[in-house]
Structure 1
Amino acid sequence: MPKPMGLSLTLIDEKLLQLLISRVEGYAIFMMDVNGCILTWNQGAEKIKGYNADEAIGSHISMFYTDEDRRKNIPGKNLNATLKNTTFETEGWRLKKDGSKFWANVVFTALYDDNGYLAGFAKVTRDVTAKKLNDDQRALINAELERRVDIKTEKVVATERRFRKLIENSTDGISLFDSHFNLFYRSLSAMRITGWGNEERTLKPIEDFVHQEDIASVREAFNNVLQQPDLTVISTYRARHKQGHYFWVECMYTNKLNDPDINAVVCNFRDVTKKVEAEEQIKEQNKQIEDILHSITDGFIAVDKNFNYTYANRKIGEMLGCEPASLIGKNMWDLYPDAVGSDTYKAFYEALNKQCYVVKEDYYPPLKLWQENHVYPSATGLSIFIRDISKRKKAEASLLRSESNLRSVFENTDLAIILFDMEAKLLSFNNNARELSKIYFKRELEIGQSAFYYSPPERLTDIKHIMKQLRNQQAITYEVPYSLGDNNTAWYEARWVSVLNKEDEPVGIILTMKNITDKKQADLERDRMTADLIQRNKDLEQFTYIVSHNLRAPVANIKGLTDLLQLEAEESDKECAAELKALSASVYNLDKVIIDLNNILQTGNASNDTLEAVSLPMLVDEVKDVNGQLISKNNATINCDFNSISQLSSLKSYLYSIFQNLIINSIKYSLPGLDPIINITSKLENNKVCIVFKDNGRGIDMERNGQNIFGLYKRFDLSVEGKGMGLFMVKMQTERLGGKISVSSKLNHGAEFKLEFPLNS
């Protein structure tokens, strides 16, 4: 759709405009370009004139004038008067959408950019039909008064009283001043507008009722009006209302001091706060539009019918290597004669002559510039957006040069590749895809054919679902088998991917098919071996369970019989006593091995228990309570810092066992003469929970014993009673929880055990 010349509505935020003027309903406030075409439209305009925004924007303001005014070119004369005076106010009959007329008070304001160039016009319209009818009625009354004065002078007093009533009830306020700016008369409407009573107003100087910043301009206006009889001076300033706030008034001072019937400076004033606020909004809007035009990445120019520049933004200056202001008023073809006869030249004339939107790409050799021109016509010239597409053109040329290489890659990959549009129509494919289709679908791939044509009936629903997911930019990968006959199957990995444009919108679909038969067979073999290993492990666990439990009773019996024999031998056969004692020790050791084996089996079975939230401080307290006598006896100190993480989702029984073994070991293997100190800390590290146990004990010779620290029945300090089970159980339980344990130590300098668990064990 063509855009109006000048400030384009599509370049500004619609929501911002609504915030600026949506609440102004009593006024039609809108902006026009330099030709009088409407750029913006508010609710007040729609309410007064009957047109909605879509109907009004882009139209010329002449559609609101009567046929007679259009014949007299009143719209053009109004704009010319505005250009001459910056602001122009007028009244007249205007047309609504339904053809009815209303009397309008119209204020035009010329809008200029920061460089002083005309940017457009603002127009504020009030429906003052009631006032017009009132004024007409007043005129009729005045005429009647004059007629009656001629007929009956005795009715002058009554007529004067009636006239005074009309004045007092006027919407505008009326005040009379003497030559010293002293107030001696005010109409009732003046009281309504300002809130001040006559006595309050006459007893105070003018400075008490005018904003401090405006006092000088008000006095200057009054002094000016005193210079000449019948002179009229208009002054706009902020007046203080009786309620304390300031409002804008527009005062028209007229010097009637030379008229003996009046002998005063007449001040007609009205409340124009809404008008001033609307004008400020328009100024702000105009500034924002200017900022937008200067900040857009496209060049923008406006030219008249003779192709003379009327506007140029900052970007076009950068593209042409000149100051934008230097272009204004100059002819385009005089500045750039090399462009005469070019595609750009033809496009500009086509848009102007046919009054249609034209877009054209062209290359301008003197500036080595590829440009994309968007040309919008109007009755008085062209608005042109110029985009620098040099980089894109170079990229396209590079893409064309590399097309043969891409085709080579496309054809020599081991993948079967098919490209579809978003309607699942086939666009392109490589030789691998062609051969695969022949073998498995028994059909030739054809450009334009639907993907559903090649899908087996049983998979048609799945393919349709895949196409729907791809519209949401979801990549889909799955494995699919194809029968080769003779009980053989070929496996393929199918991957569907959306092709996105620069706006991240899906514009196509790529299907790749990779032969994974060898991998699939290896996976099946691996699964078979894994299942076999699992079964073997179960059998081994069952065997261990049977051995540990079935041996427990016989060993207990042997132990009991050995104890009895040992007692009898001590009394009757002392020569056999030593042999029986050795046998009893062996049976005792065998019983401990079976008990340890049962403990290990129970640890493995407990891994299926339910996870729970375990408080680390409470866990340490429980260990300290149970082992309180050992801790007190050795004068051990346990320091904890769980500020980083104090809770872990895990098996509480495992964590309790781990904490207890590590704490007891630190106490048991403390340095002689040194009270044991155990520091336990927690922290988050690489999305893992790290728990560190550090003591000041005897330490471990890592070079000598580091490989066997966590071995079953491995002991390195025989001066302390133990079985070599503790660290083995700690490592086993830590790994069952999905964690790992590491140790760093130096002989006689303590040990540090580091446990690492996933956040959810």
Structure 2
Amino acid sequence: MSEHVQIPNNINELVASHQELTLFFNAMDEVFFSVDMINFKVIQISSGCEKLYGHKASEFLKNNRLWFELIHPDDKHLLDGEEEVLQRGEKVSKQYRIIRKDKSVRWVENKVLPCLDETGRLIRVDGITRDITESKEAEEKHMQSDAWYRQIVESAQEGIWTIDENEKTNFVNKKMADILGYSADEMMGKELYDFMDEEGKAYAIACMERRRRGSKENLDIRYKTKAGEDVWANISANPIIDETGKYKGALAMVTDITQRKLDEEAIKKSEANLRTIFDNTDSSYILFDADMKILSFNALADRYSIQQNGKQLEVGTHARDYFTAERWSLIKEMLDRVAKGETVSYEVSYQRGDRTTQWNNVRWLAVKDKNNQNWGFILANKDITETKTAALERERITADLIQHIKDLEQFTYIISHNLRAPVANIIGLSEMLMEEDLDQAEKQEVVERISLSIKNMDTVIQDLNQILQARELTNEKKEKIYFLDLVNAIKTSINNTVVGKKIQFNCQFDVDSIFSIRSYLYSILYNLSSNSIKYCKAGVSPVITIESHQLKNKIELRFKDNGKGIDLLKNASELFGLYKRFDTTTEGKGMGLFMVKTQVEAIGGTIKVKSKLGEGTEFVMLFAV
């Protein structure tokens, strides 16, 4: 009795267990199924089939071929040979697309386990089908992304090179392989150093040590191609660090810069050649930017700056640092003209340490870019002392010749008038002495007249000799002469007159000295002072004002008095003529102003006069520094 009771209990348990499994499988999204392979009939399928396929379980149980009909036509070939595999007792796993009842397409993974009887015959298969659409789409996107990135990597104009922690190559793109003349496969597994010479290897080892410490760098490195040629590359190198902070290798973006290096080398050689020419030309050059800051200069320009300004040139300094405020104001005006396309050229001079004068020709030029916009300026400075000295010498010789011609004309006048008269007198009086009827008293008068004529003739000859001496080039050396010393010497020599006539000398020397011939300057100031005293106004104490000023490369000397003055409208053309007198109330020969002008010009100066009757006279002399 108990056995009969026991059996139904086991059956009930099995039924309950089956129901529990059915409930579990039906609750899952996956589709569980069993197929009778003897009768090719679906004997069981979970309700998840409706969610996955859109068809109910009853439809699969009714139509044994429904599951096959739902496979995407393009994927049905994937099931070819599946039964043979199952017949061998091997499991099958396939991924393919299905077409749901609503015509939508889904990806599924189907895993099937075979069940064989004791004879090895396939009697049933059990399987599970699950929806893998999302993972498949993600995989597809990843593959597309991977393909996209690979396309970028392979089509990149830069080489891409990665190495592992042992400096062995584990990836290169086509561009990288092309740079070194290898195929990508040939480079795989090779050490980084296999593509360098010994010098490059030593440099790279030091770089890789920094990379292991996490350093990122941008470097220029020389490699060896497969053909043994040098190739220069710029690399941007970055370490590869894993999530634990461990060094796993390095990534480099590589650009072939061989041509750039060759161009740079050619430019360096060209620059060296140009610099050699630049530094050995006979002109100095300074290149300024548009803001007048120094960009470059040659050695001669630096030497000129030291000589003229006592300052070395420095790149980046402003041009105004090398000029006085007054000079810089003029320079700015010239730069405005140069910026408008004008080339400004002028001559300057300065005194060397040995007291000789150096002349320079200065040119300012504008530098324009391809759009004709002002990019900067060039200052060119050339020593033209030899040429200028020769030109000045020619001018001096020409001036001397002109003056000698004038002197000859003057001498001819003197000889024809001043000498001819006493000579004629002497001849006439000598003939009178030959007459026999002259008494002693008459003879004595004739002799006295002959003596007077001889003295007059001697005076004229002495004047001529003085003029010739003033015109001759003196052997006297130039020296530094202080103006105040000259004035004091003159005041001493005419001290009695100064005291007697209460003469006042007012001196204001902005420039206290000049480099010239002492005797000439003394004579010039003495003659002017003598004339001022001689032709002073009656009842008025003479006031003599002497001033000196610096005018660029000239020294201006002004001599002014408060005397009678000269009528220049009437006498200007003959003012400095020999034996020309304009005031007969005082004794004189008309030699003073002639000698002043002669001596001023003899030491390279010029003289002009300003005067009005009753207001005094002012002489303005200019001398080269």
> Which band: TM-score by shorter chain?
0.3 to 0.5
**So what's the TM-score if we normalise by structure 1?**
0.35
**So what's the TM-score if we normalise by structure 2?**
0.41
